[in-house]
Amino acid sequence: MALKYNDFTLQELMAVAAARELKDGEKVIIGTGLPLLGAFLAQKTHAPNMVAIYESGAIDCKPLVTPFSVADSVLAPGSAMQGGLMEGLGIVHAGDLDVGFLGGAQIDRYGNLNTHVIGDYRNPQVRFAGSGGSNDIGAGCKRTIVMMLHQKQRFPEKVDFLTTPGYLRGGKEREKMGFLGGGPSVVVSTLGILRFHPQTKEMYLASYHPGVTIEQIKDNTGWDLIVAGDVKETERPDPELIRILREELDPTGVFLKKK
Partner 1 sequence: MKVSKVMTAKEAVAKFIADGMTVGVGGFFHAISYAITHEIIRQQKRRLTICQPSFNEHADQMIGAGCVDRIVSSYVWMEVFGPLHCFRRAMEKGIPHKIEMEDYTNFAVMARYLAGSLGIPFIPIQSMKGSDMMKYSSWMGEGKAKLIRDPFDPKKEYVAVPALTPDLGYFHVQRADEEGNCQMWGIWGDSPWSMRACKQVIVSCEEIVGRDVIGRDPNRTILPGYKVIAVVPAPFGAHPKHTQGYYDVDRDFIFQYIRESRSPEGWKKFMDEWVYGVEDREGYLKKYINTYGMKKFLNLKAKDISSSSVNYGF
CB neighbourhood size of 17 (10 A): 23
User: CA–CA separation, 75 vs 73, rounded Å?
Assistant: 5
Give the nearest distance from C-beta 117 to partner 1 in angstroms: 8
Which spans of this chain sit near partner 1 (rule: CB under 8 A)? 32-33, 55-58, 68-73, 75-77, 82-87, 89-90, 92-93, 116, 121-122, 124-136, 139-140, 161-165, 168, 174, 177-180
| DSSP for residue 117 | E
Catalytic-residue membership of 12: no
Helix 10-20 to helix 34-44 angle (10° resolution) is: 60
Please, which residues have CB within 8 angstroms of residue 176's CB and are 6 or more apart in sequence? Answer: none
Give the nearest distance from C-beta 15 to partner 1 in angstroms: 15
Nearer to partner 1, 43 or 164 (CB): 164
Candidate list 55, 173, 233, 247, residue with the active-site label:
55
Give the nearest distance from C-beta 131 to partner 1 in angstroms: 4
Give the nearest distance from C-beta 222 to partner 1 in angstroms: 18
Nearer to partner 1, 18 or 205 (CB): 18
Nearer to partner 1, 121 or 219 (CB): 121
CB neighbourhood size of 83 (10 A): 14
Give the nearest distance from C-beta 227 to partner 1 in angstroms: 28
Nearer to partner 1, 91 or 217 (CB): 91
* Burial of 183 from C-beta contacts in 10 A (0-12 / 13-18 / 19+): buried
Backbone angles phi and psi of 230, in degrees to 5 = -100, 30
User: For residue 142, what are the CA distances in angstroms to 91, 136, 165?
Assistant: 12, 12, 14
Nearer to partner 1, 176 or 224 (CB): 176
Strand order in the sheet with 99-102: 81-82, 58-59, 51-53, 27-29, 99-102, 143-148, 184-189, 192-196, 203-208, 226-233
**Catalytic residue positions, numbered:** 55
